[in-house]
């Protein structure tokens, strides 16, 4: 019985370690949209990969981005226009902060 408990414990430790390292892959993209209620969604596109984050209180955080150069699209609410940002560089384990993004009508 003791060997079974040790085996289960070892498997649990291995599983936790595997998920911990998985979260270290890639980076994230953040930003702030003004006016605060002017946008609904932020999209990050890299090749065939598309990531999405809701814009809440004017801020967004796209997580799980692979390393590379993304196109970021901010989906605006009426009467504002969508914003497209090209060549947004994501690096391993880093946060790419786009700063303030002003929406135009």
Chain centre distance of CA 74: 13
3-class DSSP assignment, residue 2: helix
Number of domains into which the chain is organized: 1
Which domain CATH number covers 30? 2.60.40.10
Whether 69 maps to a domain, the answer reads: yes
Cα-only R_g, the chain: 19
In a domain, 81, yes or no: yes
Q: What is the pLDDT of residues 20-72, one digit of tens each?
A: 554 457 999 999 999 999 999 999 999 999 999 999 999 999 999 999 999 99
Distances in Å between the Cα of 10 and the Cα atoms of 2, 20, 91 are 12, 15, 33
pLDDT digits (tens, 9 = 90+) for 27-37: 999 999 999 99
48 lies in which domain range? Answer: 24-102
């Amino acid at each position: 019985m003791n060997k079974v408990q040790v085996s289960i414990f070892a498997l649990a430790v291995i599983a936790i370690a595997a998920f911990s390292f998985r979260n270290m892959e890639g980076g994230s993209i953040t930003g702030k949209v003004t006016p605060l209620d002017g946008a609904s969604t932020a999209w990050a596109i890299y090749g065939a990969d598309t990531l999405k984050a809701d814009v809440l209180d004017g801020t967004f955080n796209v997580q799980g981005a692979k390393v590379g150069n993304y196109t970021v699209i901010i989906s605006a609410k009426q009467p504002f226009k969508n914003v497209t940002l090209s060549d947004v560089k994501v690096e391993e384990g880093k946060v790419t902060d786009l700063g303030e993004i002003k929406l135009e009508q």
